[in-house]
Chain A
Amino acid sequence: MKGKKAIIVVEELEPFLEDQVLRIAAQNSITVPVYGKRTGHLPRQWEFAPDTLKGIKELVDVQEFSQPMPKVSVALPNRPPTLCAGCPHRGMFAAAKKAAGTSDVIYCSDIGCYTLGVQPPFQAADFIICMGGGAGAAGGFAQSTDQKAIAFMGDSTFFHAGIPPMINALFNNHKVVIVVLDNRTTAMTGHQPNPGTGRDFGGVTTDAIDIKSLVQGVGVKFVREINPYDVKAATSVMKEAIDFDGLAVIISKCPCPLELKKQKQLVIRQVTVDQDKCVKCYNCVRTIACPALFKKDGVISTDPTQCIGCGMCANVCPTKAIEVKQ
């Protein structure tokens, strides 16, 4: 560092190296200017691309960059990630929304595929913290507000960080609903096994841990397993859970279709919409909003390339216009 005119530190994220350079300079009484994030030349956020270096062009020669084209003036549709076609989480979210109705509830979420429940039509994530954080915060909300807190977490999250907040809610008699969206895998990150699936890799074989027995084992009085594809049945169980005077745990049990597909176990059924029976209430798209459902010129149809025939939309259809071929 001695004898240099200046030192520029270019690093992503926190100014870790930069701070060390500053410390070494200070400890060795070297007076050299150090440029980087601390001097505001480079940003602390985002990935660094070549044009990030525009920030230091007053210090060193930086190549000239072409003028980017402006954003187009046409309004573009958003393309947020969405729960897959036939994702069982859709059924559980639809059931929770229907059961809660207009009552004042707080949807507590965290990190997993179920985070995507934040999207319309569910909007079932009022806040998102770390894994297990949703259920932990639910206890706090139960203590300090008169709103019912409903916490969603996946099976993997349950084993990772969901059991302590559940026990905490039980210990403190927090009147919350914890919904474990048990899709038998760790879906969002690419279908890794978890304690709920058991292990069979690296020469180690272990049994799956049963969520229901575990929850009952710690003494939770209200424990129900539901099939989220049966949205109506799930809705009535959810109503009971919301009305329950204590901790209620619902296990929404249905394997992830992507995982089944990988295992070559996915049975695809054909779905047809009988246009004579369809009364155009759009309950299917409004409550399930499955990507395999299409509404074009007011007519509902299914996309056979995406539809797996889970029957969630048929379950919420009031006129049985949607038929699943067995």
Chain B
Amino acid sequence: MKYSVQIVGVGGQGVLLASMVLGNAAMDMGYKVAMSEVHGMAQRGGSVLSTLRFGDDVISPLEAAGSADLIMGFEPAETCRNLPLGNKDTIVLMNLDPVLPSMVAAGFEEYPDIEDLKNAVLAENKNLFTIDATKIAIEAGKAVAANAVMIGAVAAMKGFPIPKDVLLKSLIDQVPEKFRDLNVKAFEMGYSALA
């Protein structure tokens, strides 16, 4: 068994925490785990990409283009931008709530229509699952918990090799105690949204 997840998003969304949670859960399962991330400009509003590979025998921390089993997209435009990381059979999980780039926010550039982005993915891939992770997180208590919503949604993905309880335990271990309840709630809501 070998499984590759490409986690894409924007700095501040919790992409790196999500990769730690998934990576630690994979280790709890006894898998070999390799991880690498591109986050040099994360704190300056740039894109973030984290690659997680786990399985019985994993060597490279990087994955070949097109070889992702799962693309976990924290942001719609970033999901679309990184589509070539997967192939037509890759499972694509996409948060539909955008994070506006600064030039869009300032009115210099347009953000595409979310429906257009959805259709752009569907044109290449029939395994698209969408979720309003940020809205769900706000409902759970705080927008920053969107990453927990996304991890909950991954737990509901068919064929994902790590069971829900292992993921949840790993999440609880990774977050500060005072945010535990919020994260558990967000995780469960993300799970129910796609289960």
* A binding-site residues for B, Cβ under 8 Å: 47-51, 65-84, 113, 116, 120-121, 258, 282, 285, 289, 291, 293-296, 303, 305
Contacts and interface: CB of A to CB of B under 8 A. Distances in A.
Given A67-B87, A68-B86, A71-B83, A120 B103 contact: yes
B195 interface: no
Interface stretch (B111-119, B148-156, B170-178): B111-119
Contacts of B66: 51, 65-69
25 contacts: A49-B62, A49-B64, A50-B67, A65-B65, A65-B67, A68-B65, A68-B87, A69-B83, A69-B87, A71-B84, A72-B80, A72-B120, A76-B81, A77-B110, A78-B101, A79-B77, A79-B78, A80-B46, A81-B46, A82-B44, A82-B46, A120-B103, A294-B100, A294-B106, A295-B105
- Chain A CB within 10 A, most for which of B78, B106, B107: B106
Interface residues of B, number: 47
Given A50-B64, A68-B65, A289-B106, A73 B120 contact: yes
Given A68-B65, A289-B106, 8 more contacts: A48-B62, A49-B62, A69-B84, A77-B110, A82-B102, A120-B108, A282-B107, A305-B143
Given A72-B83, A79-B10, A295 B107 contact: yes
B14 to A, nearest CB: 15
B124 interface: yes
A72 B109 contact: no
A192 B60 CA distance: 32
Contact of B63 (A50, A79, A295, A303): A50
Contact of B88 (A69, A293, A296): A69
B34 to A, nearest CB: 11
B65 A49 contact: yes
B98 to A, nearest CB: 9
B96 to A, nearest CB: 14
Contact of A76 (B60, B84, B112, B124): B112
A126 B44 CA distance: 21
Interface string B66-108: 1100000000011011011111111000000000111111111
Nearest to B107: A295
Contact of A66 (B45, B67, B77, B110): B67
Contacts of A303: 105
A79 B120 contact: no
B124 A69 contact: yes
Interface in B107-160: 107-112, 116-117, 120-121, 123-125, 143
Nearest to B75: A79
Given A49-B63, A50-B67, A72 B121 contact: yes
A72 B85 CA distance: 12
A74 B45 contact: no
A303 B100 CA distance: 11
A74 B112 contact: yes
- Chain B CB within 10 A, most for which of A48, A78, A293: A78
